[in-house]
Amino acid sequence: MSRRAIEPFLWGLFSAGGVLAALFIPVHLFLQYLAFPLGWLPAPSYEHMLALLRQPLVRIYLFALCSLALFHWAHRFRYTLYDGLQIKHITELINLFCYGGAIAGTALASYLLWTVP
Amino acid sequence: MKEAPAHTPYHPRWYRSRVSTYWWLGKWAHLKFILREISSVFVAVFVVLLLLEIWALERGPGAYAEFQRWLESPPLVALSLLSFFFVVFHAITWFSLAPRAMVVRLRGTRLPDAVIAGSNYLAWLIVSVIIGWALLGG
Amino acid sequence: MGETIELEVTRYTPERDREPSRQTYAVPLRKDWTVLDGLNHIKDREDGSLTFRWSCRMGICGSCGMMVNGEPKLTCATFLFRYAPGPVRVEPLRYFPIIRDLVVAINDFMAKLQAVKPWIIREEEKALAEGEYLQTPQQLEVYKQYSMCINCMICYAACPVYGLDPLFAGPAAIALAQRYNMDSRDQGAAERLSILSQHEGIWGCTFVGECTKVCPKQVDPAGAIQQYKLTAAKKWIQGLLMPWGAK
């Protein structure tokens, strides 16, 4: 795919990731990383969480959320580095760090979600 | 688009000023823009935390309990709070910007931005209730 | 009114100066005077060497765009009394090279405007005998907002992306491309997309949104660009799923 042709695709990933992040992440973050650890709400048991994680639909959902959210970050952060820091001369490095990071995260997520016991 | 902007090759005396690296500190609108873009970092932070939680779940109840204790530590709580504010900031700015990109026409007239934004907020509410219900033991 | 207000105006003479400086003038503060009236007063009565562009003085020609207290504005539409007691800083339009005093070089914008082909493109022109192209009010409404652009380049002065990367096509050029893409008489959307679907085209835009805020004609170039991105993304998917249908 030529350099030009890939930009619409990357923007599409960024948009999809942005929508998913906006709709789904706030409640997950609030419950799982604030309300439950700080005791504001009764935390679910280990068994309950594992049972949720075992369901195929949940794993597909989590994979889509993680992967697209990472590509959302990658695209936005790449442009922030361009514009905010004006360090365009290391374009290739920025692209590698951002999209490479998203790809690595996606690979990790797929491995973890595939190998649920 | 050309390889070079179409000015100043033959006019070295035209004055060109350089944009400062801190251009975004000059106006509140610019700072707000950069903060909006930085919110994506905290989206990535969430994904990292989520993957760590999944990994802990897979390693057994002991590992999961240890993960929960780690989440309670002050630096993690601070990170979670900061991430939460930025993720909510992302959601609010996203819902206000999305209608500008999506023009929905009903019988010839364009749906007002507020309708599209409103339906996004409604979806946000519904989704949050469903996930909350699932996590809280529904 | 009997009062005066001070204008701090950028002066730059390329043969003489190495960089711009500021000169202060006092102009009468009349309730119906705009910044442009103030500049014309200076040129008429105080300093005939002050150089600036203007024409219609009623917000339609797009010639008099300048920075007023750091904000890009049409000086013919910016009233002095709003800045009382002053001083009012008048500088040339930001992000463009300064030719002299308040005059900037606009060749870059002109080149970009031409590059996006802002005219009706048709595979075949209708014969004159067949009559005119007809358009319903609904079809007009789709692109009318983008046709309001007066090419004043104030959006470029507000766009940080253009400031950081002068190769960026910029808000007005892209909005004008959209004005034709969305015109029911036009058949050149694919051609313009191939020109603009690149990093210096629509993808360089990060939706800061300042262009829309400063536009004196409410064109909403930011909205035009985001819609263009969505169109390009949809076309990309179509090209992937139905390659035989592309172009």
Tokens for C34, please give them.
Answer: 């705009």
| Reported confidence tier of residue A5, pLDDT bands at 50, 70, 90 | confident
Tokens for A101, please give them.
Answer: 């990071």
Which residues 6+ apart lie within 8 Å of B29 measured at CB? C208, C209, C210, C213
**A72 and chain B in contact, CB less than 8 A:** yes
What is the structure's pLDDT at A87? 61
Q: From chain C, pick out residues whose CB is under 8 angstroms from the CB of A82.
A: 164
Tokens 């409410």 identify what position?
Answer: C218
Mean predicted lDDT score pLDDT of chain A: 91
Average pLDDT for A5-16: 92
pLDDT, tens only, C194-218: 999 888 899 999 999 999 999 999 9
Tokens for A62, please give them.
Answer: 């989590």
What is the structure's pLDDT at A1? 44
3-class DSSP state of C89: strand
Average pLDDT for C18-39: 95
Per DSSP, helices labelled H in chain B are 28-59, 61-72, 74-101, 113-135
Q: Which of C12, C19, C103, C108 to mutate against chain B (most B CBs within 10 Å)? A: C108
High-pLDDT (> 70) share of chain C, %: 98
Chains linked to B by 3 or more Cβ pairs within 8 Å: A, C
Give the residue from A70, A14, A35, A15 showing the smallest Cα distance to B45.
A70
Average pLDDT for C25-39: 96
Which chain A residue shows the shortest CA-CA distance from B47? A66
Average pLDDT for C167-177: 96
B48 neighbors A73 (Cβ within 8 angstroms) = no
pLDDT, tens only, A28-72: 999 999 999 999 999 999 999 999 999 999 999 999 999 999 999
Q: Indicate the pairing of strand C71-74 with strand C65-68.
A: antiparallel
Chains linked to C by 3 or more Cβ pairs within 8 Å: A, B
What is the structure's pLDDT at B138? 60
Tokens 């004159």 identify what position?
Answer: C128
**pLDDT of C69 strictly over 80:** yes
Mean predicted lDDT score pLDDT of chain C: 93
Average pLDDT for C58-73: 96
**pLDDT of C245 strictly over 60:** no
| Reported confidence tier of residue B14, pLDDT bands at 50, 70, 90 | confident
What is the structure's pLDDT at B11? 60
**pLDDT of A3 strictly over 70:** no
| Cα–Cα distance, C43 to C39 (Å, whole number) | 6
Tokens for C236, please give them.
Answer: 């990309």
ipTM of the prediction: 0.93
Q: Indicate the pairing of strand C71-74 with strand C98-100.
A: unpaired
